[in-house]
Structure 1
Amino acid sequence: MVPPMSPPNSFGQPDVAKRPARPRHRPSLAGLRVLVAEDVEMVRDLLTILLTREKVVLTTVIDGAQALAMAEVQDFDIILMDMNMPVMSGFEATRRIRLLEGPRANVPILALTANASKAEVAQCGRAGMDGHVAKPFTPAVLMDAIADLLFSEE
């Protein structure tokens, strides 16, 4: 039996943070170029461990300004973006990334935030983010969210 899904979030998709992890075959994430923007060292370290296990090519930064700078000069397959960071928020960094010229403006951006309120999830969508995962999250929920953004048939 398939577990029940949460009602659609502001992106029109079931909220992956509330969806139970489901056993399924997930495409390999190996070789994907992933940018993580996270100011909390412990969370950044956890993401590094989880993503390194998946054999991604990982770049980490500690604020939105650094995320924007990296997105301007390097191609990524996905960006995992914290919302509340010093120097520049994830919201502002995402808005500016969406204004870049060429394909870099269209990189999928997955919001990672401790605030999973409907208002913040809606704000993520308005900023141009493609999905949302609430902290704390399980490794399966995070990896499923990444796979859903990158490998879902549309």
Structure 2
Amino acid sequence: MRILLVEDNLLNALALKRILERRGHEILHADGGRKALEILDSSGFDLVLMDLMMPDMDGYETARRIRGMEGEKSRVPIVAVTALLASQALERCLRAGMNSFLTKPVDEEHFRDVAERLGPSPCEP
């Protein structure tokens, strides 16, 4: 899959990028919400992994803006990635237009399950 990783903490981004690339995914990193919107406006992705707490634009607002984009870009699956407890953030994530939720540190098996459920099917071009 082609994944946009939106994470302002460079160490977290590098660790997650390494895990995902090891699984064969192509990863592009955006260090904040505004940069993510710029990248999404010019390129397509199969999945967005979105940190919730970023200084320039939080993940909730970024997700709402993605859902407001034109065409296919507005339908890209968005998965929140955060250290917050699921019960505290899940409802707010869903209201912002996100599709699922992963807690940090990201468990590889849990990511695989989410990616298989939300990502493109192997038969799609």
TM norm structure 1? 0.74
Instruction: Tell me which moved more, 73-82 or 108-117.
Output: 108-117
Per-residue deviation, residues 103-140 of structure 1 (Å, max 9, x unmatched):
11000001101102423110000000000011123211
The 5 Å alignment of 1:14-25 reads: none
CA contact (8 A) 1:35 1:78 kept: yes
The answer for the alignment partner of 1:89 in structure 2 is 58
Please state if 1:111 is matched with 2:80: yes
CA distance in 2, matches of 1:80, 1:87: 17
SS class of match (2:98)? coil
CA distance in 2, matches of 1:114, 1:128: 19
Give unmatched runs, 5+ long, in structure 2: none
Per-residue deviation, residues 37-80 of structure 1 (Å, max 9, x unmatched):
01111110111111111222210011111111111111000000
Hey, which bits of structure 1, 4+ residues long, moved more than 3 A? none
Greater Rg by CA = 1
TM norm structure 2? 0.90
CA distance in 2, matches of 1:98, 1:135: 24
SS class of match (2:24)? coil
CA contact (8 A) 1:110 1:146 kept: no
Please state if 1:144 is matched with 2:113: yes
CA distance in 1, matches of 2:83, 2:110: 15
RMSD: 1.4
CA contact (8 A) 1:112 1:132 kept: yes
The 5 Å alignment of 1:51-90 reads: 51-90=20-59
Bigger fraction of residues in helix: 2
Cα deviation, residue 93, structure 1: 0.6
Please state if 1:48 is matched with 2:17: yes
CA distance in 1, matches of 2:105, 2:19: 14
SS class of match (2:48)? strand
- Across the two proteins, how many residue pairs are aligned to each other? 121
